[in-house]
Every structure is written in C-alpha cells, then in structure tokens.
Amino acid sequence: MKKSPIDLRFVVHEHHASHLHYDFRLEMGGVFKSWAIPKGPSMNPAEKRLAIMVEDHALEYGAFEGIIPPGNYGAGAVVIWDKGSYVPTEEGDPEEQLENGRFSFELRGKKLKGGFSMALLKGRGKGNQWLLMKKRDQEADSTFKLEVALTEKKRKKLEVKIPPCETDSGPS
C-alpha cells in the first residue's frame, strides 16, 4: 500500500435536503472532490453505492454542520456522519486516476474503514455517475446497516446558517 507523507481528509455529510442523501468528500488538489450518495456509504462489499459527482467544495466546508435555510440551494439540516483521513492505495496522481475513471483508497474514519474504490459508470447520465465500493478486507461488514446521525437532540443544537462555500450552482 502506498503511504502518503500526510494523510488527506475525508468527510461524509448527512444531508436532510428535499431527499435524505450523504455527501462524500475527499480532499484532493486543495478542494474537496464531492459526490452525493442517495443511499449513503456502506461497509458491505456486496452493496455498491451510486455516487453522483457534484461540484468541488472548499476545504472549509469539511467542518460545516447546520441548517441551510429555506430558499437556499440544499436547504435542510446537514451534520457530519463520519470523518477522518484517507490514503490513495495505487501509485500515481489521484486526480489523474479520477480523470481516468478509477480511484482506490483506504479510509480511516470512525465508521468507514479500510479499502474502497470508485469507478466511473461510462456512457451513463452526464458522465458524473460513479460507484462507491467497499473492498473485501478485514474491515468489511456484511451486516452493516446505515444509521442516521441526526437525532432530535442534535437537530435542536444546530444553528441556521449558510455553508462556507458558494459556487455557481450553490452549495450541496
């Protein structure tokens, strides 16, 4: 496995927008590369998850939790579901690997651990549809069940605020 001089960050936001989804973000090239995962990530290698690539997000967005007010893009509650570091597991430039449609990495989070890979679904949609797949390793869990992090108690503590990154299409 390739070791990085410094581990890069990842974060998964649980986003209660018009439809609950999970925003998966990998630090790369000075930004968070981001994907919306409708069913959320899984530690079960048998469960491949659709991941829709969205616009890059500023690194400051990694710590965001709050309630995006109605009338704003992505309105709804956003909490951190998991976070940690990751290291690429293949030789070469991770950004080039993404451009070529395949990227493998090891996550070191509280919930997501071990080997994962992403593969671009070619010829589908707008070229932004990927699969997020858990590798079969010692961290794999065939009984994994996604649990929602936003409790009523946590929701009451969230502040209404606009995320720190504004892009042409707004935050997601």
Q: Is the pLDDT of residue 169 over 80?
A: no
Number of domains in the chain: 1
40 is a domain residue = yes
Q: Is the pLDDT of residue 28 over 70?
A: yes
Q: Is the pLDDT of residue 71 over 50?
A: yes
Average pLDDT over residues 89-111: 94
82 is a domain residue = yes
Q: Could you tell me how far CA 46 lies from the centroid of its own chain?
A: 19
Tell me which residue of 15, 46, 17, 25 sits closest to 109, measured CA to CA: 25
2 is a domain residue = no
Q: Is the pLDDT of residue 168 over 80?
A: no
Exposure string for 76-106, b = 16+ CB within 10 A, e = fewer: bbbbebbbbebbbbeeeebeebbeeeebbbb
DSSP H helices, the chain, are 94-99, 152-157
3 is a domain residue = no
pLDDT of residue 162: 87
- Domain of 48, in residue numbers: 8-157
Q: Is the pLDDT of residue 4 over 60?
A: no
171 is a domain residue = no
Q: Is the pLDDT of residue 172 over 90?
A: no
63 is a domain residue = yes
| Token pair recorded at residue 97 | 């690997």
Q: Kindly report, residue by residue over 118-132, the tens digit of the pLDDT.
A: 999 987 668 899 999
17 is a domain residue = yes
